[in-house]
A and B are shown apart, each in its own frame.
Chain A
Amino acid sequence: MDNAKRLVLSSAPHLRGGASIKRDMYIVILALLFPTAGAVYFFGLYVLLMLATAILCAILTEYVAKWMRRQSFHMDGSAIITGILFVLVMPPRTPLWIVVVGSIFCIAIAKEAFGGLGHNIFNPALAGRAFITVSFAGALTRWIAPVHSLLADGVTAATPLGEGFTTTLSNVELYKALFFGNVAGSAGETSALLILIGGVILLAFGLIKWQVPVFYIGTVALLSFLLGQDPLFQILAGGLMLGAVFMATDYVTSPLTTRGKIIFSVGAGILVVLIRKLGSMPEGVAYSILLMNAFTPLIDRYVRPKPYGYVKSRNKEAAS
């Protein structure tokens, strides 16, 4: 090596591991493929149309938002995830114009207006759903039973948690239906099995902490049991599984430390049961997570890892 060649003066560490934002996002998309496939299987090709619309709108909105903020646009996959998640929490026959408005809101307001990836306080997909729920409540009343064919239009049906839900199935058969996904509900929330597969993928790659879904679901189960409800039904019905695996675990909007995440999950679990029992909404998962998202900065402020060699006494602290 001759001296004439300029050497690069990088700063330590001069070596990087394999982690990258893109890789994280694509693993999440891989995990999401399972409940997404389920959504298409149970509710038909229209869901695919919703997905394409949502993803396209999300990407375009992010592109425009970045342009307006004079920042560079990176195709890291996060907009795709928001688009997919947004569709998975909406009723499977939501009019496309609502999908458009909703996904634009998710990205423009819930994400970019807060500062973009890493800076948003609220889970963008859930924030979008909440926005649609309050703004276009009427449009969200059309729930259908699973169609099991790609093109059928679908028959209106009550969701398991909704009023007027009746079934002729025995308990065991109902649990099976709830587990495999053969019930009405939002596009991606019905199949606990597919969501669990996605969860295993996320755990295997170290993208989520097992404490979050376990404490979230566990709290709901325990509280439902104490309130005299059927804990297994409360876990499998509604959007709890989807929320526990894909939304409460989102590292941007949940606390940084494991202890903090546990507090978050228990709090969200309590809120779900309260909203379902006492609130006028049949489902409380979206709001439980959004409300705990609001507490995340507070949790992070007070729940910190213990530094190595931490000495409690005030004298030492003042002196050091």
Chain B
Amino acid sequence: MNTRVVELLGLKSPAGVHPPSQKLAAGHAIERAPLPKSVILPLQQHIGAPAKAIVKRGDEVKVGQKIAEADGFVSVPIHATISGTVKQLATVASPVTGQPVPGVIIESEGKNEWIELTPADSETLSKEDILTRIKEAGIVGMGGATFPTHVKLSPPPEKSIKSIILNGAECEPYITADDRLMLEETDRILTGLKIVMQVLSVKRAYIAIEENKPEAIARMRQGVAEGSLPGEVEVVAVPAKYPMGAEKTLVKSILKVEVPEGGLPMDVGTLIQNVATLAAVYDAVALGKPLVERVVTVTGLVGTPKNLLVRFGTAASSLIEQCGGADPSADEVIFGGPMMGIAQSRDDTPILKGTNCVLVKRSDIREEYSCIRCGRCIESCPMGLMPLQFVNLVKKEDYESLANYHIADCVECGACAYDCPANIPIVSYIKTGKAELRKAGVR
């Protein structure tokens, strides 16, 4: 039953909010963006230790060539996304944190020359070989969190994994990258799923797609029926309520269990992978192709919102131009969706592995009033927390008490602030509270 109908009837529905979906680019097939003349590649595009550069100024590189080595287990390499010459190694501002990170700038000679790829038959590869290929290809979670995939697919032996959940929810407004990928690259995604099921020896998989994407649901169902996946694979239409795509919310919706506080989905026997990540896994394992590009939805106040296939390091401004330029009234460029995305200080910041959307919009900053205890934040919180208490405690600078209210469970989805009638920037207070707790050494 449609989520809205469920809510109207007063039946139980998952906690969350209903921002207007604004899937402006939904009907636009993926289009390859023209290759950029130069790219800026920060060496931190993933969770974990930043990669270490192995090229120097003046080196000639080809597409797919490793230019930075992974630093340790929880790290992945970075590859050149265009062919040409390394212009310089510089410190650049991370589009995600704003902090300085080492980076490599490459200038193109216009040829798009690739390294030689080594395809393989995944069914003959050992589990370790597959994981090595995934790591060497630099694959990270492409839903936005950018956690190194080979690490995620190496759970400790005591955690027995019974199922995989494919995350095709795409619950944020505006973003349509995964939707188009499921429609157009079904086979790559499903073969990637097959490889992952093989690595984890798992016989059950769920493909979660929000109910507002009926075509993708149909297409994936068709793909599953026609494909030769090992075990039971079920396409599940999940309620279209933000933040359904958050890992913990998704686990609860599909498996009807909750991930224990402070734990991970593997604690309830499951793993979650974004659909784009699995397509990249297929590319890496079967084709030997490293991760150098991704689908980015460029949308909002642009001439024509599109879903572009973009090489990492491309400046967002060139993509915006591709889409007919920004409306003069727009004054914000956001990497990611409107609920959790990061506002950029310049419009030419580089696209990273985790950038699923470039949203051009008009800012909507409202005056903050005093909390009126309406309780909407508590109702909309998917993690069962009391966001107004966090605001209260941070205002009083009582940071120690934040832990008593389980602030560590907050996934910063923004549902609380979305519904707040007093326009309180709740997530900002929460981030401040968490930072202060970290400073004080409390987890």
Residue positions of A touching B, CB distance < 8 A = 1, 3, 5-17, 19-21, 23-24, 74, 115-119, 251-252, 256-257, 304-311, 316, 319-320
Contacts and interface: CB of A to CB of B under 8 A. Distances in A.
Contact of A311 (B260, B375, B386): B260
A15 B412 contact: no
Contact of A12 (B341, B363, B385): B341
Given A16-B364, A309-B260, A3 B348 contact: yes
A257 B369 contact: no
B412 A12 contact: yes
B223 interface: no
B282 to A, nearest CB: 32
B322 interface: no
B37 interface: no
A8 B325 contact: no
Contacts, number: 163
B339 A13 contact: yes
B58 interface: no
B374 interface: yes
Nearest to A118: B372
Interface of B: 17, 19, 173, 248, 252, 258-263, 317, 320, 325-326, 330-334, 338-348, 359-361, 363-366, 369-376, 378, 381-386, 388, 405-406, 408-409, 412, 414, 417-423, 425, 427-428, 443
Given A15-B418, A320-B408, A310 B261 contact: yes
7 closest A-B pairs by CB: A13-B414, A19-B421, A8-B363, A15-B338, A118-B372, A320-B262, A1-B326
A92 to B, nearest CB: 31
Contacts of B361: 14
A312 to B, nearest CB: 10
A178 to B, nearest CB: 29
B419 to A, nearest CB: 5
A172 B378 CA distance: 44
Nearest to A254: B373
Contacts of A19: 376, 419-421
A306 B260 CA distance: 12
Contact of A14 (B334, B378, B388, B421): B334
B95 to A, nearest CB: 12
Given A251-B372, A316-B261, A256 B378 contact: yes
Contacts of A12: 338-343, 412, 414, 427
A17 B419 CA distance: 5
A1 B317 contact: yes
Identify whether the interface residues of A are mostly helix, strand, loop, or mixed.
loop
Contacts of A8: 331-332, 343, 363, 365
B383 to A, nearest CB: 4
Nearest to A2: B347
Contact of A13 (B248, B331, B427): B427
Which of A10, A17, A309, A319 neighbours the largest number of chain B CB atoms within 10 Å of its CB?
A: A309
Nearest to A20: B421
Contacts of A304: 386, 405
Nearest to A207: B374
A305 B380 CA distance: 12
A23 B421 contact: yes
Greatest chain B CB density within 10 A among A19, A24, A251 is at: A19
A306 B263 CA distance: 16
B347 A3 contact: yes
Contacts of B332: 7-8, 10, 14
Contacts of B383: 307-308
Contacts of B369: 21, 74, 117
Contact of B385 (A11, A21, A118, A305): A305
Contacts of B371: 118
Contacts of A117: 369-370, 372
A11 B425 contact: yes
A308 B382 contact: yes
Contacts of A252: 372-373
Contacts of B425: 11
Contact of A7 (B347, B374, B418): B347
Nearest to B346: A3
A7 B346 CA distance: 7
A309 B370 contact: no
Contacts of A13: 338-340, 414, 417-418, 427
A119 B248 contact: no
Nearest to B409: A307
A16 B418 contact: yes
Contacts of A305: 378, 381, 384-386
A107 to B, nearest CB: 16
Contacts of A119: 370
Contacts of B386: 256, 304-305
20 contacts: A3-B346, A3-B348, A6-B331, A7-B343, A9-B343, A9-B345, A11-B427, A15-B19, A15-B339, A16-B366, A19-B419, A20-B423, A21-B372, A117-B370, A252-B372, A257-B378, A306-B384, A307-B406, A309-B263, A320-B408
